[in-house]
């Protein structure tokens, strides 16, 4: 079973095709998951979540009522807690629903402490072993996660750049068969190698490391509305 989740990040950061992605997921009978305000945003798109997780404290009473009437599985979290809503969602999705692949939208933009929780929660040892099944997606970036070992990483169509982020201490990190190479890098603190590219005529690069936790961020430039500051 696959799953697709929406968190509460601003719509401005969503990919343009997000509604059709959720509609396709619904048609495939994937698990549809809303976290906190994400549950309401899904209902506004006409998609009823199968699972909703959150303390829902940012919702009005009638908004929460709507979710409680329509969503079959609701998990309430406590605002004073050790686990965040998104961590609880990951535990439910992987431990109770045994999903093999989870795409997360709405994880970026807005309040940066929220984004950092969504990025760094996967370091939690109780969740880390699920991390290779998780992808964060926004309008400009696709973020994947890797445990120690050797990985052949394929290019994402239309995403010409990638960055490699060691999110914790790292041992013997190698980036091979890419435009910019890295050999045997070790560090006791996080370090990011940004703006790398795939080699011409090569749709993959090799990443390997002996210990640590790495995220690969695939990205593209965006034709933004170039507003004039005056």
Per CB under 8 A, residues contacting a copy of itself are: 10-12, 14, 18-19, 44-45, 80, 84, 108-114, 116-117, 120-121, 123, 138, 140-141, 143, 161-165, 167-169, 180, 188-192, 194-195, 213, 217, 219, 221-222, 224-227, 229-230
Rounded Cα gap, residues 203 and 170, in angstroms:
26
Q: Where are the alpha helices (DSSP H) in the chain?
A: 18-27, 37-44, 61-70, 85-91, 112-120, 125-128
- Measured between alpha carbons, how far is 165 from 143 in angstroms, rounded to an integer? 10
State the nearest-atom distance from the C-beta of 172 to a copy of itself, in Å: 17
**CB 130, min distance to a copy of itself, A:** 16
**Who's near 184: CB < 8 A, 6+ residues apart?**
172, 173, 174
- Residue 97 CB, nearest approach to a copy of itself (Å): 25
CB of 73 or CB of 128, closer to a copy of itself: 128
Q: Which is nearer to a copy of itself, 66 or 179 (CB)?
A: 179
Q: Which CB atom, from 98 or from 225, has the smaller least distance to a copy of itself?
A: 225
Q: Which is nearer to a copy of itself, 8 or 64 (CB)?
A: 8
Cβ neighbours of residue 105 closer than 8 Å, sequence gap 6 or more = 4, 5, 6, 7, 9, 14, 15, 18, 21, 137, 138
Token pair, residue 138, equals 């926004």
For residue 19, the minimal CB distance to a copy of itself (Å) is 5
Residue 24: CB minimum distance to a copy of itself, A: 15
* Backbone φ and ψ of 215, nearest 5°: -115, 140
Q: Which is nearer to a copy of itself, 201 or 225 (CB)?
A: 225
Least Cβ distance, residue 104 to a copy of itself (angstroms): 13
> Quick one: 14 or 198, whose CB is closer to a copy of itself?
14
CB closer to a copy of itself out of 2 and 19: 19
User: C-beta of 98: minimal distance to a copy of itself in Å?
Assistant: 26
Residue indicated by tokens 């070790």: 186
How far apart CA 180 and CA 207 sit, in angstroms, is 12
- Chain-centroid distance of CA 67 in Å reads 23
4-21 in b/e burial notation, b at 16+ Cβ within 10 A? bbbbbbeeebbeeebeeb
């Amino acid at each position: 079973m696959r799953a697709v989740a929406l968190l509460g990040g601003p719509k401005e950061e969503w990919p343009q095709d997000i509604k059709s992605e959720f509609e396709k997921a619904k048609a495939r009978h994937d698990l549809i998951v809303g976290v906190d305000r994400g549950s309401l945003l899904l209902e506004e798109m006409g998609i009823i979540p199968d699972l909703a997780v959150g303390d829902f404290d940012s919702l009005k009473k009638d908004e929460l009522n709507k979710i409680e009437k329509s969503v079959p599985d609701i998990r309430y979290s406590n605002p004073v807690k050790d686990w965040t809503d998104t961590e609880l969602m990951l535990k439910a999705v992987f431990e109770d629903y045994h999903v093999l692949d989870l795409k997360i939208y709405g994880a970026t933009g807005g309040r940066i402490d929220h984004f950092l929780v969504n990025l760094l929660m996967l370091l939690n040892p109780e969740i880390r072993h699920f991390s290779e099944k998780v992808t964060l997606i926004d309008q400009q970036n696709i973020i994947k996660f890797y445990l120690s070992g050797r990985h052949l990483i394929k290019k994402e169509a239309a995403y010409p750049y990638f960055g490699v982020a060691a999110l914790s201490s790292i041992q013997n990190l190698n980036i091979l068969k890419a435009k910019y190479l890295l050999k045997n890098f070790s560090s006791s603190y996080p370090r990011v190698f940004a703006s790398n590219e795939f080699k011409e005529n090569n749709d993959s690069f090799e990443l390997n490391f002996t210990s640590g936790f790495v995220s690969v961020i695939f990205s593209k430039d965006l034709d933004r509305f170039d507003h004039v500051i005056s």
